[in-house]
Amino acid sequence: MGVGFVATFCMSFYVARLEHENIIAAYVWLPLALYFMQRYVSTNRRRELLYVAIVLVVQFFAGFPQAFAYSGIFVFLYLLVFMDKSRQYLKRRVVDIALFVSIFLLLTAIQLLPLAEVTLQTGRQGVTMEFFTSFSASYKVLPMMLFPNLYNNWTQPFGVWQSGEMSLEVYAGAIVFVPFVYAALFHMKDKKIRVFVVFGILAILYSMAGTIPGLRDIVYRIPILNSFRCATRALFLYEFFAAVVFALVLMKLTDRKEAKRLFLFSLAMLGIAAALVVMAKGIASTAMASEEMRVFYSGMGAFSRPLIFMVCLSAALAAYCYIKFLYRARHGLAVVACALCALNILDISGYKAPPFDQKFDYEEATVSPGFSEIGFIKQIPGSEDYRSIAILQDWADYWDHGGVRTSVGFRNSYNLYHQFQTINSYATFRPAQVVQYLGIEDSQVLFGGNKAVHANNPQLSSASAKYIVDPYRRVTGEDVIVGAGVTVEQVENVNIPANGGAVNVQQWPVSVEKGKYYCVEVELEQGEAWQMLFCDLYGEGYDSPEAEAMFAWTSGTTRYTGAMSTGEASLPEKVYLRLASQSGADIRVKSLVLYEAESVPFDSVYKPLVDNEQTVIYENVNARPVINIARSVEDMERFRAASVNTVSYVENLPYAVEPPGEDVRVGEIVYQNNSVTAKVSSETEVFVNHTQMMYPGWNAYVDGEKVENYLVNGIMQGAYVPAGEHIVEFRFEPKSLYIGAVLTVVGIILLIFLLRREKRLRRSESCDITPK
């Protein structure tokens, strides 16, 4: 176990995940959890199982639930496989497991309850198959376990099987691969080796489940596991289990026959690896190989490390046999173990994880071009009333300009140094309402530049996005949608049959004009995910990409909005609004609305504050402060996305209020950790908007008295404020956190009681067996 523990921390997974410190911080606790679990299995002492619970609690608080979930599953499987299942101990085992689970749930309640709440609020309990299978490994990259550079370089190899991005995550290294195969061939009768080999195979299969038909559908139906993406993160478990197998194999080298067999096996693996090298270089020299492939395989760079390792492995085993069996030295096993661990370090020392090989220096970033301009924003009078920044970045920019490290660092720089909230910052748990409301396409990148700036200005403005950052100068000067016009077409209660998974198209004649913007809104009944759903304007000889609105299915969302433009091309005599879908189940449309969109010139909405070679920063003149007065209030049933900056659509509106007069004022906005307050003055009753997303725990107060906090625009908050001068406060008071804190305190008290009780029982047992 000790050797396996050391080998674990020399594995390539840690090198591949240097940019995800929380993943490493979670996974490093797995060996200790299994250590205490093994002690519990061996001694039957309840105290050891309580220690396992404590370790898993620490792993959970490390901040990466996916790593904890994977580890916890295998720790529990280890307990079920190795514990004594005889009838005389069955009752005690059941009690022990119940206490183990109870202690864990109680100790983690302070974080577990809020996590469960955010999971439900963001729809992560019902993700799509596409989300689940993203970043799954393919069986076609399995050779990279032995030769990590097999498919050329870090960026674009031959074809789709990349050596970049996930190559280190897939790379398991010869030091764990060779003993793993050896143990699987010769030591499957050993129960412990057999269990860890099976665990390792399960980890590999799960990491590839998204690309294996049949297995993909089975795993997708397993609760908790089906809410994670990047299944390749489970490869850490394979590497760890292989490292434990490696340790168990080394423990068997005290036998001369065993040492000789492993030595011969390592020579055979060396021969196989050499044959693969010859084969790969032979293929690279043929006419079918590209010039890039010939150049890449002209040397030995793609194969040198595994070959060197296996040569050194054979040499280390030969040295061990010489020391152990000829000189009968007592420390031969320690010598070979240290040598192999050193080889493992050598094996991965030359690898790094591009493009994440640099640390992000926030101090340096705030004074560098493209970042220091945010400091300029902070100096603008009144900027403290606006807390949101939007960054325009599409997929091409995202990958071509440094990927996650650059974009996350760019955004974190604002949050840490200038206290602005970036509405599209990196967030795995992103509420479905935010995705649809703001038009965010992915949890890592914002909407593709132009579409967001031109079509989503009302949403951005209502969300207090005062400043728009364009790092790669993608924005063009097209007109900007700022409001809703007359309704062109409205249909209700449309049932779209599944049609066997084929494309289904329904259409309605509409009267539209050339050179105008239109918005389309689709409200659905909650149902299963679809493969495709979009609206467009279509006619004979007219099929413009500008006149399309594509909708991406989002769990928990029923309202979808898109913008279209008829363009300057001539329109046919008859134009139709088409609704095209592809789904395995019926789609029920409650309402479909097409209406004109009011638009204004770009320069009248977005004023450039900073314009240099690297970055353009625009000021959105339509943006509303974090706390603002509603200009008009209507019921949510009349919702129009293009009007959200001028109309507050309230869920279950109790009554309307008169439009505010010119005397209304909002000032002295003050931010604290969990609240925001402002002074509101008006001669009539008004409705106040708070641009923070509605979430369980947010409460509204007027002069310290709690009032009803309403859902506004399907995403934000609002409250009625009577005439006069009042202090309005929106305060975050999450019950899940408070209840969780109480339960965690109860868990700590129960844990202390159980540990002290176990200590007393152990002393009592010691006294009973002491000779008189």
Domain boundary among 318, 349, 380: 349
Model pLDDT, residue 342: 61
Interval 231-260 mean pLDDT: 79
At 416-428, the pLDDT tens digits run 334 455 555 545 5
- Check: CB of residue 413 under 8 Å from CB of residue 366: yes
What pLDDT is recorded for position 467?
82
Domain span holding position 651: 627-733
396 and 417 assigned to the same domain = yes
Tell me, yes or no, whether 499 and 545 share the same domain: yes
Question: Would 604 be classed as within a structural domain?
Answer: no
Question: Is the pLDDT assigned to residue 449 strictly greater than 70?
Answer: no
Distance CA 479, CA 714 (A): 26
Q: Are 501 and 400 in contact (CB under 8 A)?
A: no
Q: Are residues 496 and 640 in the same domain?
A: no
More confident residue, 384 or 559: 559
> Among 382-391, 419-428, 466-475, which stretch is predicted with the lowest mean pLDDT?
419-428
Same domain, 300 and 443: no
Cis peptide before 355 (omega within 30 of 0): yes
| Residue 559, domain CATH | 2.60.120.260
Q: What percent of the chain has pLDDT over 70?
A: 69
pLDDT band of residue 400 (cuts 50, 70, 90) is: very low
**Would you give the DSSP letter of residue 578?**
E
CA 38 to chain centre: 33
Q: How confident is the model at residue 152 (pLDDT cuts 50, 70, 90)?
A: very low
Question: 652 and 693: one domain?
Answer: yes
pLDDT at 689: 92
Distance in angstroms (rounded) separating the CA atoms of residues 708 and 71: 43
Least confident stretch, 91-100, 221-230, 715-724: 221-230
Q: Is residue 379 part of a domain?
A: yes
Q: Of 770 and 502, which is predicted with more confidence?
A: 502
Is the model more confident about 712 or about 442? 712
pLDDT digits (tens, 9 = 90+) for 608-637: 887 776 677 888 899 888 899 988 999 988
What pLDDT does residue 405 have?
A: 35
Do 376 and 279 fall into the same domain? no
Residue 110 in any domain: the answer is: no
**What φ, ψ does residue 669 adopt, rounded to 5°?**
-70, 125
Q: Which of 278-282, 495-499, 549-553 has the highest mean pLDDT?
A: 495-499
Q: Which of 22-36, 583-597, 729-743 has the highest mean pLDDT?
A: 729-743
Taking residues 186-203, what's their average pLDDT? 88
Is residue 406's pLDDT more than 50? no
Q: How confident is the model at residue 700 (pLDDT cuts 50, 70, 90)?
A: very high
Residues 304 and 206 placed together within one structural domain of the fold: yes
Q: Are residues 455 and 528 in the same domain?
A: no
Report the phi/psi class of residue 300: left, alpha or beta, with left for phi > 0 and alpha for psi in -120 to 50.
alpha
Rounded to the nearest integer, the mean pLDDT of the chain is 76
Q: Are 528 and 557 in contact (CB under 8 A)?
A: no
Domain count along the chain: 4
Query: Stretch 57-72: mean pLDDT, rounded?
Result: 89
Do 140 and 45 sit in the same domain of this protein? yes
Q: Determine what percent of the chain is predicted with pLDDT higher than 90.
A: 17
Q: How confident is the model at residue 448 (pLDDT cuts 50, 70, 90)?
A: very low
CA dist 13 and 28 (Å) reads 11
The pLDDT assigned to 352 comes to 42
Length of the chain: 772
Domain check: are 327 and 209 in the same one?
yes
Q: Is residue 72 within 8 Å of 238, Cβ to Cβ?
A: no
Encoding tokens for residue 704?
A: 């310290």
For residue 719, name the pLDDT band (cuts at 50, 70, 90). Answer: very high
pLDDT of residue 551: 78
Residue 5 has a pLDDT of 52
CB 200 within 8 A of CB 75: no
Beta carbons of 201 and 178 less than 8 angstroms apart: no
The predicted structure's pLDDT at residue 127: 67
Are 407 and 426 in contact by the 8 Å Cβ rule? The answer is yes
Packing angle, helices 65-82 and 30-43, rounded to 10: 20
Tens digit of pLDDT for each residue in 320-362? 666 666 555 555 556 665 665 565 555 544 444 333 334 434 4
534 pLDDT higher than 70: yes
Together in a domain, 683 and 550: no
Q: Per the domain annotation, does 91 fall within a domain?
A: no
Instruction: For residue range 91-150, list pLDDT tens digits in order.
Output: 888 899 999 999 999 999 999 998 888 877 776 666 677 777 777 777 666 665 555 555
Domain for residue 607, yes or no?
no
pLDDT tens-digit series, residues 258-315? 777 877 887 787 787 778 777 777 777 777 766 666 666 666 655 665 666 667 666 7
Determine, yes or no, domain membership for 271.
yes
Is the same domain home to 261 and 304? yes
Question: Identity (one letter) of the amino acid at 772?
Answer: K
CATH number at residue 694: 2.60.40
Q: What is the CA 172 to chain-centroid distance, rounded?
A: 23
| Range 7-33 average pLDDT | 68
pTM above 0.95, yes or no: no
Region of poorest pLDDT, from 437-446, 549-558, 659-668: 437-446
Has residue 743 been placed in a domain?
A: no
CA distance 656 to 666: 20
Angle between helices 46-61 and 30-43 (to 10 degrees): 170
**Mean pLDDT over residues 140-169, rounded?**
46
158 in a structural domain:
yes
Give the model's pLDDT for residue 701. Answer: 95
Question: What are the tokens at 716?
Answer: 């934000």
